[in-house]
Amino acid sequence: MQTRVYTDKINIDNNSTKEFWQKRANNINNLQTVLLGSDNTGSEQYIRNENEKRIVEKIIEKIQNPGILDIGCGIGRWAENLQNKFEYYVGVDFSEGFINYASKKFTNFSNVKFYNNSILNLDKDILTSRFNLIICTGVLMYINDENISNIFKAFRQVSPEYLYIQESISLMEGRLTLNKFESKDLKTDYSAIYRTKQEYEEYFKTNAFNIIKTDLLLDNKSGAREETNAQYWILKG
């Protein structure tokens, strides 16, 4: 089986993706360091998180006291990053381990809620709630093409003022798919779809989201790679 697939469109296994993140959830303390960085302010993770936090804070300045929907919330990175900057926050993740951890961490915050829910089947109560800002970071790369359009239709149903998307992308002419690729960094098999910037922007256009700003997120200090990088988009609904 080919584990690095260039250009061709293939599906990745949703069950193995969920299993991967469940295993990560079993080591929460290590995962917090991976996502948020350690106390070392020079670490890739710390620099990346601080850079991204500044970008999202500028969006919030335009809204003031927003309702935020965080898709793929993990252990509550954005709830922590944006404390005291929102009226209410709802985090959604398909990993029960992440949700349990985040819920305990924010148990004393009445305006912060977490739901064990998949982006592929968002709860009706979430879709009918009012959110000014949707945050979706590092999620779409684990979703097959056949489901991407439905996700943006769900985002459209929520009718946010702004949508912040951040995804790892291919810097090559075509996409790169890792299909149960043995990752030395992660020490496990890993699957993900690194689409091109143009592929994502076609989805935005099709679903009537206008691009306000977009740029690469990473440099050499924060984890840029030769074939891939992280791209962010600020979209207006």
Q: Which domain holds residue 27?
A: 4-236
Domain count, the chain: 1
Q: pLDDT value at position 184?
A: 59
**CB-based contacts of 61-67 (< 8 A; 24+ apart in sequence):** 62/162, 63/132, 63/133, 63/161, 63/162, 66/131, 66/132, 66/133, 66/161, 67/129, 67/130, 67/131, 67/132, 67/133
pLDDT averaged over 10-residue windows placed end to end, the chain, 237 residues: 88 81 68 53 82 96 94 95 96 93 95 94 88 97 94 91 97 94 66 97 95 94 89 95
Q: pLDDT value at position 37?
A: 47
Q: pLDDT value at position 178?
A: 93
Q: pLDDT value at position 190?
A: 83
DSSP, collapsed to helix, strand or coil, labels residue 123 as coil
Instruction: Return the CATH number at 203.
Output: 3.40.50.150
The pTM of the full predicted model, rounded to 2 decimals, is: 0.91
- Identify residue 207 by its one-letter amino acid code: N
